[in-house]
């Protein structure tokens, strides 16, 4: 995984965590769901990149 990919995925995860927190504070279920979806997408991308790295070795 390149450093740029890691940064993008981490940024997406942090954005998701922030959205989720804001949604909880404002009692906005759709914002909470969006945040969790962003976090899941970032985690999936990291997993795919980890698998790719494993096969490159």
Please tell me the distance from the alpha carbon of residue 10 to that of residue 13, in angstroms, as a whole number: 5
> Which of left, alpha, beta for 27 (phi over 0: left; psi -120 to 50: alpha)?
left
Average pLDDT over every residue of 3-32: 96
- d(CA 44, CA 1) in angstroms, rounded, equals 13
pTM of the model: 0.85
CA distance 33 to 41: 12
State the angle between helix axes of 3-26 and 29-56 in degrees (0 to 180), rounded to the nearest 10.
160
Interval 24-51 mean pLDDT:
96
The two tokens of residue 32 are 């909470």
């Amino acid at each position: 995984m390149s450093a740029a990919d890691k940064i993008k995925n981490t940024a997406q995860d942090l954005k998701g965590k922030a959205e989720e927190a804001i949604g909880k504070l404002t009692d906005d279920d759709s914002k909470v769901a969006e945040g969790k979806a962003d976090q899941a997408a970032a985690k999936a991308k990291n997993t795919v990149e980890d698998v790719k790295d494993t096969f490159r070795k």
